[in-house]
Amino acid sequence: MSPTKIWKGIKDNIKSSLTDAWEKRRSQHLIILGMLSVMGIALLIWAILFFTLFSSNAQQEANSWENYTAATWVGVLFALTVLIFIIPEFFHYLGTRNSLIEMLETDSRAELQKNKRDLDEGVKLLSGHWPAILEAKRVELGLRKEMPDGMDLPPEDNWISNWLNTKNSRWVERFPNSDLLKDAGINQIIIGFSLIGLMLFLYNAMFGLAREVVGGPRNMTVDFTMIATGSEYNATWAPHIDLIGGLIILLFATFLFMTSPAPQEPSDIVDLEEE
């Protein structure tokens, strides 16, 4: 057998194994793609901060952050790959999920049947608990007598699921005319950015991200107020919260809080109880 055929066989086996492994996790595709998307964007933001604030350049002496230059460039390449290939796929899955939720909110048998093809394709793409949700809706509207054998509805959503899947966040309450903020996927992206930013800046304030000397422990807080004012030093001993850093922490915390479900008005609760 020629080396070309051997190499082709190896490539086919590797591709087949990766495809099978990916298909076995079809129900987790949206979560995986979402996590990779957030990670890629976070790495891109880190690279911007790294090359503008932390890394050394021709006019500065080498500093402790210089050791992370190679890793940051690897992160940039990963982030660009995510932007080109993964984020479009993530929004495809997210759009399918949102369409399923919208179509399943109907109480019309005719409308559900009209969207049968789109529903079946969406359920096949997302897999997981979606087939059971679709069949339960058909039972509810009288299109089926009972659920298929071996298919049960997933347990009721907890507060985390309600937060992640809400279409009526405090952002929507504040800006009711924004259709973009009513998208659960956009709300999840804001949650991801806010949570990562909040954790990063809190860690910097409490434990420190900077070193006093090259090779020393990271026990100094990067002081953004010093950086903004052009001070000779840009870090101080942790724990420490400077004015700008504190405002950024407050901003991330506010953004995260605003993604939570808006409280229902008493009249809305009464209406739900009457239904």
**Residue 234, domain member (yes or no):** yes
Side by side, the strands of the sheet bearing 235-237 are: 210-211, 218-222, 235-237
Asked if 154 and 160 count as a contact pair (C-beta separation under 8 A), the reply is no
Average pLDDT score over residue span 68-74: 84
Residue 251 belongs to domain spanning = 159-263
The pLDDT value recorded for residue 267 is 45
The pLDDT value recorded for residue 55 is 63
Average pLDDT score over residue span 114-121: 91
The pLDDT value recorded for residue 59 is 41
The pLDDT value recorded for residue 264 is 67
Average pLDDT score over residue span 56-72: 62
The label of the residue with tokens 């919260």 reads 241
**Residue 181, domain member (yes or no):** yes
pLDDT tens digit sequence for 157-199: 667 777 877 888 898 888 888 878 887 778 888 888 888 889 9
The label of the residue with tokens 């957030």 reads 38
**Residue 213, domain member (yes or no):** yes
The pLDDT value recorded for residue 265 is 53
Q: Where are the alpha helices (DSSP H) in 128-210?
A: 130-140, 159-165, 170-174, 184-206
The pLDDT value recorded for residue 250 is 94
pTM: 0.63
The model's confidence at residue 270, banded by pLDDT at 50, 70 and 90, is very low
Tell how many helices (H) and how many strands (E) occur in the chain.
13, 3
**Residue 74, domain member (yes or no):** no
Q: In the chain, how many domains are there?
A: 1
What does the alpha-carbon distance between residue 216 and residue 210 come to, in Å, rounded to a whole number? Answer: 9
The model's confidence at residue 257, banded by pLDDT at 50, 70 and 90, is very high
**Residue 132, domain member (yes or no):** no
What does the alpha-carbon distance between residue 229 and residue 275 come to, in Å, rounded to a whole number? Answer: 59
**Residue 23, domain member (yes or no):** no
Side-chain half-sphere exposure of 65, counting CA atoms within 13 A: 19
- 243, two tokens: 């004015």
What does the alpha-carbon distance between residue 107 and residue 103 come to, in Å, rounded to a whole number? Answer: 10
**Residue 116, domain member (yes or no):** no
User: Is residue 262 left, alpha or beta, with left meaning phi > 0 and alpha meaning psi from -120 to 50?
Assistant: beta
Asked if the bond preceding 266 is cis, omega within 30° of 0, the reply is no
- 48, two tokens: 């911007």
